[in-house]
A and B are shown apart, each in its own frame.
Chain A
C-alpha cells in the first residue's frame, strides 16, 4: 500500500453551508476546516445536520448557499462521480450481484481498467481490510462486519482524496463495533488520507477521531480533540452530549490570583479563569461544571480529613448503583439536585449508602465555567433527542 500514502491527503473546508428541507433547517451556516490526513468525526444527535453535511461533501446534496472545498478547490458544482471521494454507507451497500472482489474492483471498472489488473488491485485492498481469503464470496455470504470491510475497500480503490463514513458501524452489534472502530483507525493510519466520519455515538467519535466536531442545530458547536472537548466544554450542549456533567448555577463573587471565587448556595467554589468561557464580572451568573469521575465522596463524619483548597459541596446520597468498575452515586444537594458522582471501586466505604450525609469535593482545576444563558439540559438524552439515525436519513 505504499502507493497510497500521504501524497493524496487533502484538506476539506465547509464554508457557510446552508440547507433547508421544507420548514426544517438542516444546516445553518456550517463552517468547518479539516486538516489533511486527519480523521475528523462529525458528532451530534439525529437531526443536527451531520449526515447532510457529509452528503454535500459526497455530492449527493446541494447546499442552498455556501461552498464545499476539497484540497482548496471549490467542488460544490462537481457531480458526485467526479469528486474523488469514497463513501461507506450505514446500510450494507455492496452490489448484491457482484462478489467481494468485484465489488471492490467496481471503481476501477468505471475507469475502464483491464480486468486482470483491477482484480489484482482489489485483492490487495481486500488484504488491507483483512479479507484476502473471502474475495470470491458474495455479499449475502458475508457477515455484517465483513460487508462493511469490503465497503471500505471498495471506497478506497480509486485512491480518493477523502473517505466519507456515514455511520458505518451503526448496524453492527456492540462488540463488533468496538473491533471495527480500531480496525478503521488502523486502516486510516495505513492509507493516510483524510477521513470524515459521521456518528451519533460519542464513544465511537472519541475512540477514533483526531478531531471531533460536535454539531447541534446545523452548525458546529465546538471543535477540538476528544480530550479537549471532554475537559473543556464551552457550552452545556457539549458538556452534556459528551459524557455526563454536573452543572451548578453560581454567582461571581471575587477573584483570587488566576482563579474566580463563586457563590453557590451558601458555599464557595473556585474556578480557574482560563477554564471559564463566560464573562466574569462580579455579580454575574455563571454555570459551573464538573465531571462525575473527578469528584471524591467523603462521609460527613470524616469531613475533617478532606485536604484544604478543594471545592466542597454537602449533600445526601439519594441512590447508588454498582456497575463493576465503579459505583455511581446520585447525591441531592442544596446547589444541585441529582449530582452524579462516579467512584472507582478500590476501597468501598460501607457507610456511603442511600440516606448518608456526605461531602463532595474535587480539585478546583477540574472545574469549568459556562455561559449562564443556556439550558442546563441541552444535549441530554431527553431534550436534544439522541434518537434513531433513521429519522435524520429520512429528512
Chain B
C-alpha cells in the first residue's frame, strides 16, 4: 500500500488541476475581461452599468418570484404524492418515475410550442367566458402564472429524483405508523414525522428548481416574458464587455442564492433541535 500511495496522490492532483483549469481559467478570464479596459487600467464600469441598467431589478425580482412559486407548487404537488406512492402503491413507482422524467426527453422548444398552441385556443367569441379570462390572467406579464406551470413540469425530474432518494433513506411506513400510534392524524404524521427527515431532499429539490428557474431562457423568451435570463440576453447582445459582466454577475447571484438557501436549511435544523 505504502509503495502505491504516491501514484494515486499524483493522479488526484492531476485531476484537480485539470478541473481547476477547466472551470477557473474561463471564469478568471471573464472577470479580467470585464474589469480591465485596455489603456484605462482596472475599472468596474461594466458592473456599474448593469446595476443601473433598466430592468435589472424587475427581471431579477420576477425570476425570484417565479422560483419561489415554482418551488412551492412543485413541492406541494410532489411530496404528498411521493409519500402516498410509497405507502399505498409502491408498484406504481416506476410509472411515476418515467412520467416525471419525460420533461428531460421533450426539448424545451417543443414544450413551448405546445404551450403557445394551447394558449391560442381561446377564439374571440369566447372572450367573455372564464376560460378565456383564465388564459389572459395566467399570461399577465407582471407575474406570468403560465411560466410557473411550465417550470413545475420542467422541475419534475429533479424534484422526483431528490425526493425519491430522500424517501428511500428511511422507512416511511414505519415512521408514519409509529406517529399514528402515538396519536398523530395522517396529516400530522406527514408533517411531524416524515417531513423533518426529508429536509435534505427538500433542500436539494429547492436548489435544483431555483437554479433551473434562474437560468431558464427558452420558454420565457419565446412566450414573450422578461425574467432575469431573458434580460441578460437582451442587455448583453449590444455590448461585448457588458454581456460578459452580466454572465459573471448572474453566476454570483445564483451562488449567493444557493448559499442563502443552504444557510436557511442549516438554521431550521438548529431550530428544530430546541
Is the CB–CB distance between B170 and A154 below 8 Å? no
Interface residues of chain A, those whose CB is within 8 Å of chain B, are 58-60, 79-83, 85-87, 89, 91, 93-99, 106-107, 109-111, 151, 154-155, 157-158, 164
Closest A residue, CB atoms, query B189: A81
Contact with A along B169-204 (1 / 0, CB 8 A): 011001101111111111011001100110100000
Is the CB–CB distance between A110 and B184 below 8 Å? yes
Given A60-B177, A89-B178, A109-B192, CB of A97 within 8 Å of CB of B272: yes
* B197 CB contacts on chain A under 8 angstroms: 95-97
* A80 CB contacts on chain B under 8 angstroms: 177, 180-181
> In the assembly, what is the distance between CA of A14 and CA of B199, in Å?
41
CB distance from B180 to the nearest CB of A (A): 4
Is the CB–CB distance between A158 and B193 below 8 Å? no
> In the assembly, what is the distance between CA of A157 and CA of B178, in Å?
13
* B273 CB contacts on chain A under 8 angstroms: 99
Task: Offer 13 A-B interface pairs, CB within 8 angstroms, sorted by A.
Answer: A58-B177, A79-B180, A85-B181, A87-B177, A87-B178, A93-B174, A93-B177, A93-B178, A95-B175, A106-B179, A107-B182, A110-B183, A158-B183
CB distance from A10 to the nearest CB of B (A): 16
Given contacts A60-B180, A81-B180, A86-B181, 20 further A-B contacts (CB under 8 A): A58-B181, A60-B177, A80-B180, A81-B181, A81-B183, A81-B188, A81-B189, A86-B182, A91-B174, A94-B178, A96-B197, A97-B196, A98-B196, A99-B273, A110-B183, A110-B188, A110-B192, A155-B182, A157-B182, A164-B181
> In the assembly, what is the distance between CA of A307 and CA of B175, in Å?
63
* A91 CB contacts on chain B under 8 angstroms: 171, 174
> In the assembly, what is the distance between CA of A93 and CA of B179, in Å?
9
* CB-based closest 5 A-B pairs: A107-B182, A87-B181, A93-B178, A110-B183, A97-B196
> In the assembly, what is the distance between CA of A80 and CA of B177, in Å?
8
CB distance from B214 to the nearest CB of A (A): 30
CB distance from B228 to the nearest CB of A (A): 35
Closest A residue, CB atoms, query B183: A110
* B186 CB contacts on chain A under 8 angstroms: 81
Grouping DSSP codes into helix (H, G, I), strand (E, B) and loop, the B interface class, with mixed when no group exceeds half, is: helix
Closest B residue, CB atoms, query A83: B181
Q: How many A-B residue pairs have CB under 8 A?
A: 75
Is the CB–CB distance between A81 and B175 below 8 Å? no
Which of A60, A151, A157 has the most CB atoms of chain B within a 10 A radius of its CB?
A: A60
Given A81-B184, A107-B183, A111-B183, CB of A95 within 8 Å of CB of B272: no
The residues in B between 134 and 176 inclusive whose CB is less than 8 angstroms from any CB of A are 170-171, 174-175
Closest A residue, CB atoms, query B185: A81
* B188 CB contacts on chain A under 8 angstroms: 81, 110
* B171 CB contacts on chain A under 8 angstroms: 91, 93
> In the assembly, what is the distance between CA of A82 and CA of B192, in Å?
17
Which residue of B177, B182, B272 is within 8 Å of A106 (Cβ)? B182
CB distance from A138 to the nearest CB of B (A): 9
* A89 CB contacts on chain B under 8 angstroms: 174, 177-178
> In the assembly, what is the distance between CA of A86 and CA of B186, in Å?
16
CB distance from A225 to the nearest CB of B (A): 29
The residues in B between 10 and 30 inclusive whose CB is less than 8 angstroms from any CB of A are none
> In the assembly, what is the distance between CA of A82 and CA of B174, in Å?
18
* B170 CB contacts on chain A under 8 angstroms: 96
Closest A residue, CB atoms, query B170: A96
Contact with A along B259-272 (1 / 0, CB 8 A): 00000000000001
Which of A83, A85, A93 has the most CB atoms of chain B within a 10 A radius of its CB?
A: A93
* B177 CB contacts on chain A under 8 angstroms: 58, 60, 80, 87, 89, 93
* A99 CB contacts on chain B under 8 angstroms: 273
Is the CB–CB distance between A110 and B182 below 8 Å? yes
> In the assembly, what is the distance between CA of A172 and CA of B38, in Å?
74
CB distance from B250 to the nearest CB of A (A): 35
Closest A residue, CB atoms, query B174: A93
Closest B residue, CB atoms, query A84: B183
> In the assembly, what is the distance between CA of A272 and CA of B257, in Å?
85
Given A81-B183, A110-B183, CB of A95 within 8 Å of CB of B174: no
> In the assembly, what is the distance between CA of A79 and CA of B186, in Å?
10
* A79 CB contacts on chain B under 8 angstroms: 180, 185
* A85 CB contacts on chain B under 8 angstroms: 181
* A109 CB contacts on chain B under 8 angstroms: 192
* A151 CB contacts on chain B under 8 angstroms: 178
> In the assembly, what is the distance between CA of A109 and CA of B191, in Å?
13
Closest B residue, CB atoms, query A136: B273
Is the CB–CB distance between B175 and A93 below 8 Å? yes
> In the assembly, what is the distance between CA of A59 and CA of B183, in Å?
12
* A111 CB contacts on chain B under 8 angstroms: 183
Which of B178, B192, B196 has the most CB atoms of chain A within a 10 A radius of its CB?
A: B178
* B180 CB contacts on chain A under 8 angstroms: 59-60, 79-81
CB distance from B167 to the nearest CB of A (A): 13
Is the CB–CB distance between A155 and B181 below 8 Å? yes
CB distance from B183 to the nearest CB of A (A): 4
